[in-house]
Amino acid sequence: MKQTNAHMERQIMNKRKRVFSVQEKKNPKAVFAKRYVSHLVPALKKINMNKPSSQINSKSFEQTVKHEVDMALALSAQEFAWSRFLQHKLLSSPHEDPSYSSKILETSSCKQDGKEGSEIKKKLKELQKLVPGGEEMNMEEILSEVGSYIVCLELQMIVLKSLVQDNIS
Amino acid sequence: MLESLVSLESMSLSSMDVSVLERLKWLQQQQQQVLSTTNASPELLQFHGTNNDELLQNTFSHFQMLGSGFGPNYSMGFGPSHEAMDGCISRTNSCQMDQADTVGVMLNNSEENITIILKNKRKSEVKTREEEKTEKKIKVEAETESNMKVKSNLSNTEASSETSKQKSKAASETQKLDYIHVRARRGQATDRHSLAERARREKISKKMKYLQDLVPGCNKVTGRAGMLDEIINYVQSLQRQVEFLSMKLAVLNPELELAMEDLSVKQFQAYFTNLPVVVASKPSLMVDAPLFPLDQQGSLDLSVINPNQATTIEAPSASWETQSQSLYNTSSLGFQY
């Protein structure tokens, strides 16, 4: 029994490797990355073509690029609630800077002797601000969405890094 | 064994006037008998209802969070207690103690559907009883694990009192499927509200555990507040990095060759294999039965899990987790939650 199980296990592992290389589409991360690239690159091209060269390196150009970056993220991960929220936000206010960097973590202002429940609630509020659409989610939903959001952000970073690096060298 | 089965069959399920003590006695009897005659199960199996396969499938598809303790050692009452809470189910079809009737804590991530299979069919009652009792012990184990407490000693009395509580709750709540089934622990209220509360809390703690695996550096922090802190920090840092990269991209954009159609996903494959985090992992597996049909996934689970359990009792969950997660990764089509 053990032998057959181990054998099957090996088979499955081998199969997985095969599947991974041949059927990339099954891998959700690969799927996401593909979608992301396919959204972002044409958008960048379009930006290049539309903007006159004088506007390059201005703040609005950066914002436009950022907008496209976020849009590509939202479009590549349609399965999640946060992506829909992000899409809405981007479509409604196309040139607004989400200003991620301005969010400050307020933990230091929490009283130490406060109840843990209220501390957690404060943290949850912070999280709500970070995750697109978080204001409309309750705790459980946020926790589900945060997981996928984190992974998609990581993947996005990988794609962006490689895009940048490919063009530096 | 068979005589006792016959005698118990006459007892109807809904009769709540059967005293708890009596039931416990029977249970213990059955327990001992089972321990001594593990080969008697073929006869027992005959007593099962016909829709056990369905139940089994449902159980499998919804079961992912628990059951590191299940397995061939089932008849012993306690599976090996590891931390592998996040491991997959380990019920084998060939296992003599067929757990088809038994119930897991069926916690779906979707709010509305919490489907459970309740045992206590009349025909399979005896088997149910002993399964229930052993199941309960394991379930309690899983519960404690899930709540991150370590209760190493679950005495028989405790388990049996839980059994009694469980029975009263089960009998009073529902006889049908599609109901929440949350184990009541000793001394805890068994009314609907607190059960729903408990189910909700367990859901949340499971998600937190998943996030803990996702966010690096969360393992050292304990408590919800600290973990949330870490998560927030991590998300912020990710977002900042994305912003920075996009700025860089904007700077480079004019010079971009943009021969990107050649850019294939193969470039990223190296990253994907190295990434420790998996999206379609544990919580997602509880969602849809169609995604994980028993004949494929279930057997996959079983074949991979059993060696782990059989060979290494104290198997750390880490290696197994990544294995199982990557397995599911290939066949799951999306980030299902």
Q: What pLDDT shows up at residue A26?
A: 65
Mean pLDDT of the region B244-248: 85
Whether residues B228 and A124 touch (CB distance < 8 A) is answered with yes
**Alpha helices by DSSP H, B37-124:** 41-46, 52-62
- Domain for residue A105, yes or no? no
Residue A91 pLDDT exceeds 60: yes
| Cα separations in angstroms, A1 against B27, B81, B171, B293 | 31, 22, 39, 23
Name every chain A residue with its beta carbon within 8 A of the beta carbon of B334.
28, 31, 79
Q: Which residues of B260-296 are buried (b: 16+ CB within 10 A; e: fewer)?
A: beebebebbbebbeeeebbbbbbbbbbbeeebbebee
Of B242, B255, B260, the CB nearest to A69: B242
pLDDT at B47 over 80: no
Put simply, whether A96 touches B (Cβ < 8 Å) is no
- Judged against a pLDDT cut of 70, whether residue B96 lies above it is answered with no
- Residue A147 forms part of a structural domain: yes
Which of B152, B118, B115 lies closest to B135, judged by CA? B118
Residue B265, SS3?
coil
Q: Quick check: ipTM above 0.85?
A: no
Top residue of A9, A11, A111, A125 to mutate, by most chain B CBs within 10 Å, is: A9
pTM of the model as a whole: 0.47
What's the CA angle centered on A96, arms A92 and A99, to 5 degrees? Answer: 130
The string of pLDDT tens digits covering residues B275-318 is 444 443 333 433 333 333 444 433 433 433 344 443 433 334 44
Span A83-97, average pLDDT: 72
Task: Work out the pLDDT band at A80, boundaries 50, 70, 90.
Answer: confident
**Does the CB of A18 have a partner CB in chain B at under 8 Å?**
no
- CA of A89, closest CA in chain B: separation in Å? 16
In this prediction, residue B182 carries a pLDDT of 62
Which residues of chain A are within 8 Å of residue B234 when distances are taken between CB atoms?
A: 150
Residue A8, in any domain of the structure: no
Question: What are the φ and ψ backbone dihedral angles of B103, each rounded to 5 degrees?
Answer: -120, 145
Q: Does A123 touch chain B (CB under 8 A)?
A: yes
CA B315 to chain centre: 17
Q: What is the per-residue pLDDT for B268?
A: 54
Nearest CA in chain B to A38: B261
- Rounded Cα distance between A69 and A61, Å, is 12
Instruction: Indicate yes or no: CB of B232 within 8 angstroms of CB of A127.
Output: yes
- Closest of B43, B112, B140, B260 to residue A45, by C-alpha: B260
Does a structural domain hold residue A161?
A: yes
For the ranges A73-77, A143-147, B124-128, B332-336, the one whose mean pLDDT is highest: A143-147
Better pLDDT: B273 or B70:
B273
Mean pLDDT of chain B: 54
Q: Looking at the 3D structure of chain A, how many domains does it have?
A: 1
Q: Between chains, do A143 and B204 touch, taking CB under 8 Å as contact? A: yes
Q: How far is A93 from chain B (nearest CA, A)?
A: 18
- B60 Cα to chain A: minimum distance (Å): 18
Measured CA to CA, the distance from residue B240 to residue A66 in angstroms comes to: 12
| Site from B109, B197, B230, B260 to mutate, A interface, most A CB atoms within 10 angstroms | B260
Tell me, yes or no, if A53 comes closer than 8 A to chain B by beta carbon.
yes
Is pLDDT larger for residue B105 or for residue A114?
A: A114
Average pLDDT over residues B193-201: 90
Per mean pLDDT, which range of A113-122, B19-28, B90-99, B178-187 is the poorest? B90-99
Query: Helix, strand, coil shares of chain B as percentages rounded to 5?
Result: 60, 0, 40
Q: What percent of chain B is predicted at pLDDT more than 70?
A: 20
- Confirm whether A43 is domain-assigned: yes
CB burial of residue B187 (10 Å; 0-12, 13-18, 19+): exposed
**What range does the domain containing A39 cover?**
28-50+57-93+131-168
* CB-CB neighbors (< 8 A) of A111 in chain B: none
CA distance B328 to chain A (A): 9
What are the residues whose beta carbons fall under 8 Å from the beta carbon of B33, sequence distance 6 or more? B1, B4, B40
pLDDT of B243 > 80? The answer is yes
Does residue A117 form part of some domain? no
Q: What is the pLDDT of residue A85?
A: 79
A139 part of a folded domain: yes
Tell me, what's the pLDDT at B4? Answer: 52
pLDDT digits (tens, 9 = 90+) for B55-66: 444 444 444 444
* A26, A48, A100 ranked by CB distance to B331: nearest: A26
Interface membership of A41 toward B (CB under 8 Å): yes
Of B233, B251, B273, the CB nearest to A57: B251
Residues of A in contact with B330 (CB under 8 A): 16, 19-20, 23, 26-27
Q: Residue A108's pLDDT band (boundaries 50, 70, 90)?
A: very low
Most confident of A51-55, B32-36, B241-245: B241-245
Token pair 């850019």 is at which residue? Answer: B263
Q: What is the pLDDT at residue B140? A: 42
Q: Do A164 and B211 touch (CB under 8 A)?
A: no
Quote the pLDDT of residue B58.
44
Nearest to A27 among B214, B323, B329 (CB): B329
Q: pLDDT > 90: what percent of chain A? A: 0
Q: Which residues of A touch B221 (CB under 8 A)?
A: none
User: A64 CA to chain B: closest CA distance, Å?
Assistant: 9
**Option in A5, A154, A167 nearest B256 (CB):** A167
Closest residue of chain A to B215, computed from CA coordinates: A150
Residue with the larger pLDDT of the pair B19 and B205: B205
- Percent of all residues in chain B with a pLDDT value above 90, rounded to a whole number: 2
Residues A69, B268: C-beta atoms closer than 8 Å:
no
Q: What is the DSSP secondary-structure string of A27-57?
A: SHHHHHHHHHHHHHHHHHHHHHHHS-GGGTT
Give the per-residue pLDDT at B46: 43
* Residue A97 contacts B, CB cutoff 8 Å: no
Closest-CA residue of B relative to A4 is B303
Q: What is the pLDDT of residue B159?
A: 45
pLDDT at B154: 40
pLDDT in tens, B1-23: 555 544 544 444 444 455 656 66
Domain assignment present for residue A163? The answer is yes
Residue-wise pLDDT tens digits, B126-173:
444 444 444 444 444 444 444 444 444 444 444 444 444 454 444 444
- How many whole angstroms separate alpha carbon B333 and alpha carbon A28? 6
Name chain B contacts of A5, Cβ cutoff 8 Å.
Answer: 302-304, 306-307, 310
CA distance B161 to chain A (A): 32
